[in-house]
Amino acid sequence: MSIVVVVGMQWGDEAKGKVVDYLAQDADYVVRYNGGNNAGHTVVIGDEVFKFHTVPVGVLNEGVTAVITDGVVFDPSVFVGELEGLRKRGITADRIKISGNAHVIMPYHRLLDRLEEEYKGNGKIGTTGRGIGPCYADKMSRTGIRVWDLVDLDRFRARLTQCLQQKNKIITSVYGADPLDEATIYEEYAPYAEVVRPYVCDTTTVLVEAARECANIVFEGAHGSLLDIDHGTYPFVTSSHCVSGGACVGTGVGPTAIDRVIGVAKAYTTRVGAGPCPTELKDAVGDRIRERGREYGTTTGRPRRCGWFDAVAVRYAARVNGVCSIALTLLDVLSGFDMVKICVAYSIDGKETTEFTTDVDALWRAVPIYEELPGWKEEITDARVFEDLPAAARRYVDRISKLVGVPICLVGVGPRRDQTIVLDGEVLQM
């Protein structure tokens, strides 16, 4: 019986959904602890592709309770849409629980997200435009609307009146945009409240009791460590705690309950939106990785910036998350290169360092120092045990593990559930 945190070690999109889905086969609970519908998780089962933004991936597994906890920002319109989509495909999504403490993403959050980005001009972050930052800002300013408020319609109306007055002043006076209409928002949100209400509860109590009863729990981190509000490349980050510690903050389950942290890293690097990415390749190699890896955002469809694996960044992520084992995904994407590269150090202002920095000004100036390894020509999507991989691919995996200083428990060789090589079954055992 165990409690495992799955966390992204790069700038998001590390194929965490696949790893969570693997663990969920033996889990009782799969829990989202941060972020909102700015995240996108894709799971491929057989020929079926499932994309999730708000509902935890675990919902696909019978017997699993999917939990949206306190640390999440919750867009009821997206939730209701995902629920309908699942039902149409015959998936009963009854085992979902939503924390009353989660903050509700409102139409003014989405509008302010866009207006703030426009206002920043060249300094924009390249957000997903889903209202995430403004919603978390309201949470911290103690002016947010929580799910408890949403499902009590009298309370919701009163909170909406109060909040919208202030937001409309900002929208009109600061940004010169049109104000939002209270009645329209209420009419849109009141029906959502009816759908959401049966799922709402005190999820902390549910999870703490489940932990006491030795349930198998997977905490599903959204985004990636380098997008963490404190430990990422601020200000080019999202507004939540993406690191493993966020699992405790976001759920109310204490750190001593957690058994393991599995970090998920791609065999190369991607980043969406603005901000430094030292190993980014703006050439044919980057394009090739993007096309082979289908590196287009699950949420926004934006092309992802692609580059070689950055061992400096991933070693930092291993440290801030306390990662005990790595799931290395999308190795198949690198097939066909004569040679592959791993960034082993940065040169910043002529000084060589193997330490990552969250001083973004310095990171912009970081020039990657690469180690070159032989590539492999063979497609590896049919490999099912480590020995099936070409020697060069095995060497690449081993080298990453050595440079990051953490063993590898799983290698992903394709998007399907079965396209997985397990190196350490014990770590992956719930």
Catalytic residues: 13, 41
How far is 305 from 257, CA to CA, in rounded Å? 37
Q: Which one, 11 or 156, has the nearer CB to ligand IMP?
A: 11
Q: Which one, 38 or 269, has the nearer CB to ligand IMP?
A: 38
H helix runs in 197-240, sequence order? 203-212
Would you tell me which residues interact with ligand IMP (CB under 6 A)?
Answer: 11-13, 38-40, 125-128, 130, 132-133, 223, 227, 236, 238-239, 272-273
Q: Which one, 128 or 203, has the nearer CB to ligand IMP?
A: 128
H helix runs in 38-121, sequence order? 76-88, 107-120
Q: Which one, 229 or 366, has the nearer CB to ligand IMP?
A: 229
Q: Which one, 216 or 240, has the nearer CB to ligand IMP?
A: 240
The closest alpha carbon to 266, from 332, 221, 319, belongs to 332
Closest approach of ligand IMP to the CB of residue 270, in Å: 8
User: 156, 193 in Cβ contact below 8 A?
Assistant: yes
How far is 277 from 268, CA to CA, in rounded Å? 12
How far is 171 from 180, CA to CA, in rounded Å? 9
Helix (H, G, I), strand (E, B) or coil at 174: helix
User: 40, 298 in Cβ contact below 8 A?
Assistant: yes
Helix (H, G, I), strand (E, B) or coil at 332: helix
Closest approach of ligand IMP to the CB of residue 298, in Å: 7
How far is 91 from 146, CA to CA, in rounded Å? 28
Closest approach of ligand IMP to the CB of residue 205, in Å: 29
How far is 430 from 68, CA to CA, in rounded Å? 20
Q: Which residue is nearest to ligand IMP (CB)?
A: 273
Closest approach of ligand IMP to the CB of residue 13, in Å: 5
Closest approach of ligand IMP to the CB of residue 158, in Å: 28
